[in-house]
Chains A and B, each alone.
Chain A
Amino acid sequence: MITPMLAGILFLSWLLIFCAIKVATTKNLVHSVFWLAGVLLLMAAVFVILGAPFLAGIQVVLYTGGVITLMLFGIMLTQRKPDTQVAMDAENRGPALATAVGMLLVLLTAIWGTPELATMTPSPQMVGASEVGKIFLSTQLLAFEVLSLLLLAAMIGTIVLVRKGDH
């Protein structure tokens, strides 16, 4: 039974997996960042299909906007020749593949070996920004504040780490 939702997700899934493989394997680091941007955008699309447009927006703004820019700056700061194809792969490609495949097998066993998952149906609802915002400022207020504290700590930590002169 192929619903339009499932069809859309299956289509996006192929693209996602392709982009992800490119992220993990491409030789050029800058290309890798752009492939990651692709993954993040596709993920935002999936979020929209799943009924989370606010989250999709956040994903685009925060990830595709912020993180990708940060990554590019990181590469810019650490590569002497930006276009040089740095040797990206370690010699332990085989073991890495083995571990990844092993983990995938275990996860697939868990997912497809659990019949309850097959019979579950999605609840057709869209969750907008206002609802999420209410949750942040009501039941999850404490977690929200702790998170802001964490972001502050991360910011200060970053500044301390990269500050020049005291090494």
Chain B
Amino acid sequence: MLLQVLLTVAAILFCIGIYGVISRRNAVGVLLSLELMANAVNLNLISFAMFNENGAVGQAFTLFAIALTVAEVVVGLALVVLLYRTRHNALLELASDLKR
């Protein structure tokens, strides 16, 4: 019951993140939603670690995930700055070079 509640909360956070990622027009907004999704995953990991005899390894794994997320945020923000420099705005639809 407890595990299911935790997983459900994580699932809800993850889906809110999905909604934000798809609907945000601003690049920073998309990054924020990505953070939501990453945190939902972290919550999952911690929950399973708590229900495991060897929980310390799960926590270490979560730490790895957090570090990865931070690295991703750093690179993502660098890209946003770059986008702003070339387009003078951070709106994602301006970066539609793939179409051409």
Q: Which residues of A contact B23 (CB under 8 A)?
A: 24, 89-90, 92-93, 96-97
Query: Which residue of chain A has its CB nearest to the CB of B52?
Result: A123
Contacts A10-B5, A70-B77 given; does A43 touch B60 at CB 8 Å:
no
Provided the pairs A20-B16, A127-B55 are in contact, do residues A157 and B73 lie with their beta carbons within 8 angstroms?
Answer: no
Chain A's closest residue to B16 (CB) is A20
Distance from A42 Cβ to chain B, minimum over Cβ atoms (Å): 10
With both beta carbons as reference points, the residue of chain B lying nearest to A32 in the complex is identified as B32
**Which chain A residue lies CB-closest to B76?**
A74
A133 CB, min distance to chain B CBs, angstroms: 9
Interface centre among B15, B55, B86 (most CB of A within 10 A): B15
Task: State in angstroms the CA–CA spacing of A167 and B46 once bound together.
Answer: 43
Chain B interface size band reads: 35 or more
Are B71 and A100 touching (Cβ within 8 A)?
Answer: no
**Chain A residues with Cβ under 8 A from B95's Cβ?**
none
Given contacts A89-B25, A157-B75, contact A43 B12 (CB under 8 A): no
A107 touches B11 (CB 8 A): yes
Q: Determine the chain B residues whose CB is within 8 A of the CB of A78 once the complex forms.
A: 27-28, 80-81, 83-84, 89-90
How many residues of chain A are within 8 Å of chain B by beta carbon? Answer: 87
Complex CA distance for A113 and B20, rounded to whole angstroms = 27
Q: How far is the CA of A112 from the CA of B90 in the complex (A)?
A: 40
**In the assembled complex, how far is the CB of residue A67 from the closest CB belonging to chain B, in whole angstroms?**
5
Q: Give the residue name and chain of the B residue nearest to A135 (CB).
A: B60
Residues of A within 8 A of B32 (CB): 23-24, 32-33, 36, 71
Q: How far is the CA of A89 from the CA of B18 in the complex (A)?
A: 14
Report chain A residues within 8 Å CB of B69.
67
CB of B3 within 8 A of CB of A120, answer: yes
Complex Cα gap A90–B31 (Å): 15
B11 touches A108 (CB 8 A): yes
Residues of chain A contacted by B29 (CB below 8 angstroms): 29, 32, 88
Q: Which residues of A contact B11 (CB under 8 A)?
A: 104, 107-108, 111
Task: Determine if B60 and A13 form an interchain contact, defined as CB atoms under 8 angstroms apart.
Answer: no
In the complex, which residues of chain A have a beta carbon less than 8 angstroms from the beta carbon of B3? 117-118, 120, 122
- 9 residue pairs of the A-B complex, CB under 8 angstroms, read A6-B5, A52-B50, A62-B66, A67-B73, A78-B90, A107-B14, A117-B3, A123-B50, A150-B67
